[in-house]
Structure 1
Amino acid sequence: MNQELSPKYQPGEVEAGRYQKWLDQGVFKPSEDPKAEPYSVVIPPPNVTGKLHLGHAWDVTLQDMIIRQKRMQGYDTLWLPGMDHAGIATQAKVEERLREDGVSRHDLGRDAFLEKTWEWKEEYASVIREQWGKMGISVDYSRERFTLDEGLNKAVNKAFVDLYEKGLIYRGEYIINWDPEAQTALSDIEVIHQDDQGAFYHINYPVVGSDEVLEIATTRPETMLGDTAIAVHPEDERYQHLIGQKALLPLMNREIPIVADDYVDMEFGTGAVKITPAHDPNDFEVGNRHDLPRINVMHKDGSINEKGGAYVGMDRFEARKAVVKDLKEQGYLVKVEEMVHSVGHSERSGAVVEPYLSTQWFIKMAPLAERAIQNQQTDDAVEFFPPRFNDTFLQWMENVHDWVISRQLWWGHQIPAWYHKETGEVYVAETAPADEANWERDPDVLDTWFSSALWPFSTMGWPEPTEDFERYFPTNTLVTAYDIIFFWVSRMIFQSLEFTEQAPFRNVLIHGLIRDSEGRKMSKSLGNGIDPMDVIDEYGVDALRWFLANGSAPGQDIRYSTDKMASAWNFINKIWNASRYVLMNVGEMDIEHIQIGADLTLADRWILSRLQSTIRDVTRLFDKFEFGEAGRVLYHFIWDDYCDWYIEMTKESLQDETSDNTSTRSILVYVLDQFLRLLHPIMPFVTEEIWQHISGSQVSIVLASYPTVQEKWIDEASEQAMNQLIDVIRAVRTIRNEMNTPLSKEVDIFIKVNQATTGEIMEANRAYIERFSNPASLEISQAPNTPEQVVSQTTSFATVMMPLEGLVSIEDELKRLDQEKQKLIKEVERVEKKLANENFVSKAPEAVVNAEKEKGKDYKRQLEAVEQQMVQLAQLGE
């Protein structure tokens, strides 16, 4: 065994060069063992727009934990990495850089601009890979993909053409969400609604040929420049006489019809609404029903165009002010009601989204959504963790609208459609028409999420029947945050069902968002973002991963905390120091030469049995993706059972030079080896470093087998006996603490046991009690010869007593016992109330009910013992 472990845990030293060693050894690649069950994960591709943030760190940590455990369990694992071109966001970043140099993309032209964008991609892809390496993620880089690479472009083109030929993709003029800053269409889920200060503007529209006026209220008065009708409800008696007549559009002096339509809510406002078919989706539908013209009064940048009369050239918000001013001056403005209302903003640029009439490409969602919904009722259903997100998914699919997939960008998958220069005929195919010179290709690109929706299978080589596609698709688990269920998860599901006849993954683990210590979402505007690389520099990557894993409950947000990061580092330092103790006390022994014989101490049998419980629980919790709970199980086993109790207890036998302590030394190494393997998926670097010192000829812990429960070591009797010993020692410590008596001071200790068998266990292991309690004398009996005045602590099987003389007054002890009595009375009442609840008794598992009954008996025994002590003390004080 290599015993050289540095005196102090230094994460920088531990991590230095380790990742490259793993890559050089090729331990992250699939085994491709045909006998092994495949297990695959595709990484949610980060955008090549900048550095990774803490949310990315959390996401890849969870995936790495899953894939590392499965690899150790013997699966043929593939974790496929990749990155997303992120059309709108990346193009905006590159254009911003160009503007700093005084250049626009139009100055460069499309080809030169794309060259610049590919340079950006390579720059930030390199940064992302470096950060992945810092995080220690065990991906197979030989299979890395990019959403704009040649293979994925082929997949995207085939998907588009297939959907078009099935009638599921169409092109038409509709109202879409328009980002005037990025000057591109957006899908509904790329629009973020937030409360903004606004107003209701009440405007009078004169009825032509009469003295009547119709009062209209709007939040966007600049759009009235494109009004083509006023609508009222056909059953609204107030306006029956006006249906079919005309109103005068203020400022524009254009006559527009008054129409009747069920869309109008008679109870809202005045019951009359303006209809602007080119600037409102509902008005667009009303306009179609009444064959109204569509007057678009805006340019793509949000400024008023030549159809906007006197306001041409003004920005839309500048025009709003001018329109309101003119309405007031000309007597049309009735009133202005200040209000806060929900306004859509571009998820990418932050600009206020404009409902805009535009010719775009769409996907017809109804049949695709229906298939995805039906699939959730089959054996091929995607299982969500936690399950409530299945409802989130279904609700969105049941209410989904057609998806606008064209984007007015240069960076992305250019739409595979051509228009004949003379006839206008549309040609859609994976390759250009033969007489390409006579055709003009659609300049638009596809929504980034269109290519991302193909990610689980396009990365495996689809549409080609590759070996990876045949072996590793469908993938097993997707890990992602809840905020992109609509953007990405749902789209992958319906696209995969459409093109592969299978769901793209079996499980979806949904995690939350990382917030700051005050619970706020991290953002640039708040300046509260945390760079994971800075955290790693201070605490080490294993501490960051432990924090992210241990704070992980499926679907829940977590708060970043420097205190928790410090605690994570302390935990690793505890493991490091415990490992140094083991290495210094086991000689040349390693995991290949351990010898666990039959001459085991109670502590030996106990720790081996506790290890099996830990292996069972951690494995079970990992299977349920309950990593936070798994972390807590590991923490208590390592810190409490192994470090605080077992290591201390081994000092008895290890310091006895006359005894053969081979088994104890072997168990120290064996248990250390086993919990390092359990910990490895969470803390890969420090576990590898320590494991290399005890592994003998093993290559890497990455390929070590994952622990499994060994039935031969399960020993409930030894666990019970050790738990009794620990309870007694803790009782002594409690008394010493309450009496302010340090461990260094010897004190007589009396242990009154309830049963003779308990006394035999205590007596057989009195060396442990003496080591941890430092008694001047120790008496263990069912009827110990105690002084009249004692301080006591009662457990369910024994009472621990220490002489009162010189420690505390009888009055103080009676007060303390009364507090304990009141606490036990409440516990007894709680259990009795629970057991009296028929609903609990009938529905809870029998084991749970029986456990509550046992608790009640224990509390009553403890209460009886405390009351007896109080009676005895009271008599002594008389």
Structure 2
Amino acid sequence: MEPKISEKAWNPELEKEILKKWEDEKIYDFTPQDDNYTIDTPPPYPSGRPWHIGAAAHYSQIDMIARTARMSGKNVYFPIGIDRNGLPVELYTEKKHNIRMRETERGEFLNLCREALDDLEAEMIVIMKSLGISGDFANYYRTDSEEYRSLTQSTFIELWKKGQVYLANRPNNYDWVSGTTIADAEITYQDLPTKLVYMKFKIKDTDQEIIIASTRPELLCACRTIIVNPEDERYTKYIGKKIIVPITNVEVELKTHHSAKEEFGSGAVMVCSYGDQNDVALFRELELEEIVAIGLDGRMTEVAGEYVGLKPKQARTKIIEDLETNGFLEKIEEINHRTPISERSKIPIEIIPMEEYYLKQKDAIVKIKNLGQEITFHPSMHKQILMNWLESINIDWPISRRRFYGTEIPIWYCKNCSEPHVPEPGKYYRPWKEKCPISNCSKCNSTEFVGEERTFDTWMDSSVSPLFISKFNRDEEFFKKVYPASIRPQAKDIVRTWLYYTLLRCEQLTGEKPWSEAWIMGYGLDEKGMKMSKSKGNAIDPLPVIEKLGADTFRFWSASEINHGYDFRCNEQKIESSKKFLSKLWNVSRFLSSFPVIKSGDLTASDKWILSELDNLVKECKKGYDEYNFFIPAIAIREFTWNLFAAHYIEMVKARAYGIEFTDEERDGAIFTLHKTLSTVLKLLAPITPFITEHLWKILYSEESIHKEKQVDSENLEEQSNITKEITEFNSKVWNEKKDQGLSLKDSIKIEIPSMLEPYKKDLKSMHNLID
């Protein structure tokens, strides 16, 4: 019998044809019903070369969530978006055109950013489609579209009217490279080598001195008090005394405070505005007068005296030299210091008093904690990231940014009295270039206004993604059907930003949580275990890998590489090795394509045994798919198909399937079982490797797409796993014996079949050519 499948190997080039058919047949089109499964898909950000291989693996698995849900009978809404707001494109545009944002006309700079994003976005869409992602590309959204930005502004206006937004001048995290305030959530911490400088501070009207250690001696000019721990007996006699700050000769008072640690440095601490967040808290608590020592340009201000204009690091070096020259230097220790770093520019931040808009969040922490407890996290361990972050929040969210490419804050100020005015929601406003839509000031009746030039923190946009995709305030009927979303899939590094801010904003606007499940993936690492990123130069471009090996090979590697939620290493050789399993699946399918598909047959003990093991596979896969942990079905399917179905069962029934020395009924039992097993394996594997399963399914079983099939359920067959070990060990024994005797696998041999395997005797005899 000639096999229906003539090709000897799976050709990844076929994936392009299959993609075209899916697109033409619109098999993933969404029509809202009463019950829908909405995926709040993360909109990827195109900056530089879009995506690395770890991100591609992430989105492959998000698609597995969608395909799993469809085959579970759910009506899946899988929107696709592109995140186009924020700092990365500004930096990319500056570098590409060798310009500076603030030295370029704003409109011109924005156009250059859009052009850059268009080019990068096009490549990103190609990668996503090549991966077989079954989202709604025909209607994909952009976060910089007028429609999206209008929603961001509308939600801000609503919260403004509710009194949730306010303007305040406070110490803020400042990224002087990008020239903007950043939120705590946009900061990472690194242990960086630095100098701990021990300085001599004179006690006024005495010849005594105390030693104070600091990593920020350049902030001596901003020192406003000295603190020691109240339990530190070394300084008891100096409490309340005036202390003279070296270099500046300013007098400050020595006070006690529990935050001073006796074991750090000398135990005495200078409190400056602002070395760190502890300084910020102390200045508020002790009502100290702040001194702005570092300006918006990241350089020392005039209060620094002769150090004015120097960058903090330069000032630090110079002031250490002067301390030593003037006899104020005790010693220097080289230490590793936990330093706050801007996630975007990768440089240490400064804390500078700035006037910014804040969204209230402190009062909502308990409510968000309760909502977080209601959400099922996959895996559950990553819920703790959210809870830890909620515990650390101690200020409201600064939402204004001093950048260009972002959603503008929709506020105009009265030119006469400075009263802020927000317009009615419903359209996209650009106050920096548009006339105020309000005719008269509500406070002084003036008719002249000045538009706000600042933009929102990009998370103000991203945090309304579930509202945008559900057409919040645009289509009430659609919104009711698809909101709240079912699941939020994302990486673990943005739990404290995207996930948290979405919870906060959606609760403020709708009074409920935006989704019931959160799926959190680990980092893609390089071969050395370092986090993969474009900035480090260790990122692998996924497109050449996909074009060379095929999306299914890539996707199967992604699923089978490591248990969900953990970091994973990316290695092209490992990805290529995944192709071996697809080759095995192809070979099995090609062999079975020689036999007709029949609906029933008389089952022998061998058939019942493999169907029992198949039922166990179904149960195992269901467990993995229910948890969105694709590692479980990927490993289980590979193990079953390769090491049980192909290696043992097919070999046992091959002669029977051909009808050699078996009855027609026995032959049909084998053929029925072979096809039932393969068709089930294809269905189980379809969410992970959609292309090869589609191709084989259509050749062997149906003209309809496998992705419209319902996933198989367990039949709760009689458990026969106890016999599996006996069968596999007996087969291995025969193979080894033939090898030891220098026989081929086809040669006859005399080996007694154990009594436990008596029901399988006929198949085993034909398989091994056993003689009595």
Fold equivalence (TM over 0.5): yes
Is 1:110–2:106 an aligned residue pair? yes
Structure-2 separation of matches of 1:726 and 1:315: 72
Question: 2:17 maps to which residue?
Answer: 17
Aligned residue among 417, 420, 426 for 1:423: 417
Rate the CA distance shift 1:605–1:337 in 2: closer, same or farther, 3 A.
Answer: closer
Structure 1 740/548 Cα, relative in aligned 2: closer, same or farther at 3 Å?
A: same
Q: 1:501 to 1:692 in 2, by over 3 A?
A: same
Instruction: Work out the CA distance in 2 between the residues paired with 1:291 and 1:642.
Output: 75
Pairing 1:499–2:497 present:
no
Change (3 A) 1:67 1:234: closer
1:566–1:217 distance in 2 versus 1, CA, 3 Å: same
CA deviation map 1:175-209 (0-9, x unaligned): 22111211111222222211211111122333444
Deviation at 1:574, TM superposition (A): 0.9
Give the structure 1 partner of residue 303 of structure 2.
307
What one-letter code is carried by the residue in structure 1 that aligns with 2:15? E
Greater RCO (Cα-Cα under 8 Å, separation 6 or more): 2
**What secondary structure sits across from 2:114 in the alignment?**
helix
Counterpart residue number, 2:767: 772
State the 1:684 CA deviation: 0.6
Q: Which residue of 2 aligns with 1:864?
A: none
Structure 1 SS opposite 2:181: strand
Structure 1, residues 485-532: CA drift from partner, whole Å, max 9, x if none? 112222222222222222111111222122233333224566432222
**After superposition, where does 1:394-473 map in structure 2 within 5 Å?**
394-402=387-395, 403-430=397-424, 432=436, 434-435=438-439, 438-473=448-483
Q: Deviations over 1:683-715 (max 9, x none)?
A: 01111111121234x23222123222346xx35
Distance 1:725 1:224 in 2: 80
CA contact (8 A) 2:562 2:568 kept: yes
- Give the counterpart letter for 1:732 in structure 2: V
Deviation at residue 400 of structure 1 after TM alignment: 1.3
Q: Could you tell me which residue of structure 2 aligns to residue 729 of structure 1?
A: 731
Q: Which secondary structure state, in structure 2, belongs to the residue aligned with residue 495 of structure 1?
A: helix
**Structure 2 residue aligned with 1:668:** 674
CA displacement, residues 606-659 of structure 1 (integer Å, 9 cap, x when unaligned)? 333433332232123210223212122211222233322333334313433785
1:221 aligned residue (217, 220, 228): 217
The answer (yes or no) to whether the contact 1:688–1:701 under 8 Å persists in 2 is yes
Q: 2:600 aligns with which of 596, 601, 616?
A: 596
Name the CA distance, whole Å, in 2 between partners of 1:97 and 1:433.
36
Which string of whole-angstrom CA distances, capped at 9 and with x for unpartnered residues, describes residues 254-304 of structure 1? x33315352552725444432323454333343344543322122222112
Q: How many residues align?
A: 750
Q: Which residue of 2 aligns with 1:320?
A: 316
Counting only pairs closer than 5 Å after superposition, residues 119-158 of structure 1 correspond to structure 2 as 119-158=115-154
- How far the C-alpha of 1:679 sits from its partner, in A, is 0.9
Aligned mates of 1:285, 1:640 — CA distance in 2? 63
Contact 1:175–1:280 under 8 Å retained in 2: no
User: Taking every aligned residue pair, what percent have the same amino acid on both sides?
Assistant: 28
| Match runs of 1:645-794 below 5 Å | 645-656=648-659, 659-660=663-664, 661-696=667-702, 698-710=703-715, 714-716=717-719, 724-737=726-739, 742-743=744-745, 745-751=747-753, 753=755, 758=756, 760-762=758-760, 765-766=761-762, 768-775=763-770, 777-778=771-772
Structure 1 position 48 matched with structure 2 position 40: no
The answer (yes or no) to whether the contact 1:511–1:555 under 8 Å persists in 2 is yes
CA offsets per residue over residues 391-447 of structure 1, 9 Å max, x none?
Answer: 332232123132222221111111223332232223345565513862223222111
For the residue of structure 1 that corresponds to 2:12, the secondary structure is helix
Evaluate the alpha carbon distance shift between residue 223 and residue 761 of structure 1 in structure 2; reply closer, same or farther with a 3 A threshold.
Answer: same
Cα distance, 1:569–1:752 mapped onto 2, change above 3 Å: closer
Distance 2:531 2:259 in 1: 39
Task: Assess, with a 3 A threshold, how the Cα gap between structure 1 residues 628 and 173 changes in structure 2: closer, same or farther.
Answer: same
What RMSD over aligned residues (CA atoms) do the two structures have, in Å? 2.9
Deviation at 1:742, TM superposition (A): 4.8
- Gap change, CA 1:459 and 1:200, over 3 Å in 2: same
Question: Measured at CA, do residues 636 and 271 of structure 1 come closer, stay the same or move farther in structure 2, by a change above 3 Å?
Answer: closer
SS in 1 for 2:751: strand
Aligned: 1:632 with 2:659: no
Residues in 1 aligned to 2:668 and 2:744: alpha-carbon distance in whole angstroms: 34
Distance change (3 Å), C-alpha of 1:239 and 1:670: closer
Counterparts in 2 of 1:147 and 1:401: CA distance versus 1, 3 Å: farther
- Residue 214 of structure 1 and its aligned partner are, at CA, apart by 4.0
Distance 1:386 1:132 in 2: 25
Checking the alignment, whether the CA contact within 8 Å between 1:393 and 1:490 is kept in structure 2 is yes
**Aligned-partner SS, 1:42:** coil
Unmatched 5+ stretches in structure 1:
779-878
Determine if contact 1:45/1:83 at 8 Å carries over to the other structure. yes
Tell whether the 8 Å contact from 1:512 to 1:557 is kept in structure 2 after alignment: yes
Residue of structure 1 in register with 2:622 after alignment: 619
- Give the match for residue 255 of structure 2: 260
> Judging changes above 3 Å, is the alpha-carbon distance between structure 1 residues 579 and 474 closer, same or farther for their aligned structure 2 residues?
same
Q: CA deviation at 1:682?
A: 0.4
Structure 1 residues 601 and 425: alpha-carbon distance in aligned structure 2, compared to 1, 3 A threshold: same
Q: Answer whether contact 2:32 2:481 (CA < 8 A) is retained.
A: no
Residue of structure 2 in register with 1:159 after alignment: 155
Amino acid at match of 1:626: N
Change (3 A) 1:752 1:392: closer
Kindly provide the CA deviation profile for residues 223-267 of structure 1, in whole angstroms up to 9, marking residues without a partner as x.
Answer: 1122334445678776677666644443334x3331535255272
Q: Secondary structure at the match of 1:141?
A: strand
The residue type equivalent to 1:395 in the other structure is N
Give the Cα separation in 1 of the matches to 2:686 and 2:757. Answer: 41
SS of aligned partner of 2:407: coil
Output the CA distance in 1 between the equivalents of 2:233 and 2:673: 90
Q: Is the 8 A contact 1:3 1:693 kept in 2?
A: no
2:364 to 368, 371, 384: 368
User: Structure 1 residues 495 and 266, CA, compared in 2 at 3 Å: closer, same or farther?
Assistant: closer
In structure 2, relative to structure 1, the CA distance for the partners of 1:774 and 1:454 (3 Å cut) is same
1:300-320 deviations in Å (ceiling 9; x for gaps): 221122232112222221121
Give distance in 2, aligned partners of 1:107 and 1:759. 84
- Give the letter for the 1:440 counterpart: V
* Aligned partner (choices 581, 584, 606) of residue 609 of structure 2: 606
1:355 pairs with 2:351? yes
How far apart, in 2, do the equivalents of 1:157 and 1:703 lie? 40
CA contact (8 A) 1:277 1:286 kept: no
In 2 relative to 1, CA 354–142 (structure 1 residues): closer, same or farther, beyond 3 Å?
Answer: same
Task: Show the counterpart of 2:494.
Answer: 484
Task: Confirm or deny: 8 A CA contact 1:303 1:315 kept in the other structure.
Answer: yes
Instruction: Report the residue type matching 1:477 in the other structure.
Output: I
Indicate if the aligned counterparts of 1:511 and 1:553 stay in contact, CA closer than 8 A: no
User: For residues 825-870 of structure 1, what are the alpha-carbon distances to aligned partners after superposition, in whole Å with 9 as ceiling and x for unaligned?
Assistant: xxxxxxxxxxxxxxxxxxxxxxxxxxxxxxxxxxxxxxxxxxxxxx
Q: Is the 8 A contact 2:365 2:390 kept in 1?
A: yes
Greater C-alpha Rg: 1
Report if aligned partners of 2:615, 2:715 keep a CA contact under 8 Å in 1. yes
Unaligned stretches of 5+ in structure 2?
Answer: 426-435, 441-446
Deviations 1:93-116 (A, max 9, x none): 1111121xxx33234311111111
Q: What does 1:853-872 correspond to in 2, within 5 Å?
A: none
Cα distance in 2 for residues equivalent to 1:364 and 1:370: 13
TM-superposed CA distance for 1:76, in Å, is 0.8
Structure 1 595/570 Cα, relative in aligned 2: closer, same or farther at 3 Å? same
Preserved CA contact (<8 Å) 2:229 2:261: yes
TM-score (norm 2): 0.90
Partner of 1:384: 377
